Amino acid sequence: MPTLLSENEIVSGLKELMGWTRSGGEIKKTVELKDFVHAMGFVNSVALLAEKANHHPDIDIRWNKVTLALSTHSAGGLTANDFNLAKAIDAL
Amino acid sequence: MPTLLSENEIVSGLKELMGWTRSGGEIKKTVELKDFVHAMGFVNSVALLAEKANHHPDIDIRWNKVTLALSTHSAGGLTANDFNLAKAIDAL
């Protein structure tokens, strides 16, 4: 099982990400795309990374806006898995 | 602008759908798939119908569960557009 990150690790992890905020035991990001078609393109790119990592964010689609939330449910909070996937998503 | 449906029209419209419930000015349905890959397949099918109809549900993905919410925001509630798209989604 992945290890929960410490507060210090979470704070420094967030500094390496773009546009993610912490909300309790998860990190969230909302991305605004040009329209629904582009939102779905982004969602599918995220989905491919998620399936590859076997780590799946919650994904909320509101026409051109996509909100992602990452948490490691099996560990009950944030682990390196969340920050690694967030970093990969930022690099899309 | 599409016309808001009457209460009677909403009640009889819901009877023609499968698994949708009314929640204020929207109708919602949660579909449970085998896993995330199948959930994304379903989401993409819904997305194609939505873009074709130029009417886009809110879509929430939770690994193998997909929740759809339909409302006609421009009309401030439920119209035939919502029930037509719901019917097309049910037929997937």
pLDDT digits 0-9 by tens, B51-91 = 999 999 999 999 999 999 999 999 999 999 999 999 999 99
Q: Please name the member of B37, B51, B62 whose beta carbon is closest to the beta carbon of A36.
A: B51
Q: Is the pLDDT of residue B1 over 80?
A: no
Q: Is the pLDDT of residue A66 over 90?
A: yes
CA angle A66, B65, A61 (to 5 degrees): 15
Which tokens go with A90? 């930022």
What is the rounded CA–CA span in Å between residue B16 and residue B51?
23
Distance from CA of B63 to the nearest CA of A (A): 6
* ipTM at complex level: 0.97
By the 8 A CB rule, do A8 and A41 touch? no
Interface of B to A at Cβ within 8 Å reads 36-37, 40, 43-44, 47, 50-51, 56, 58-63
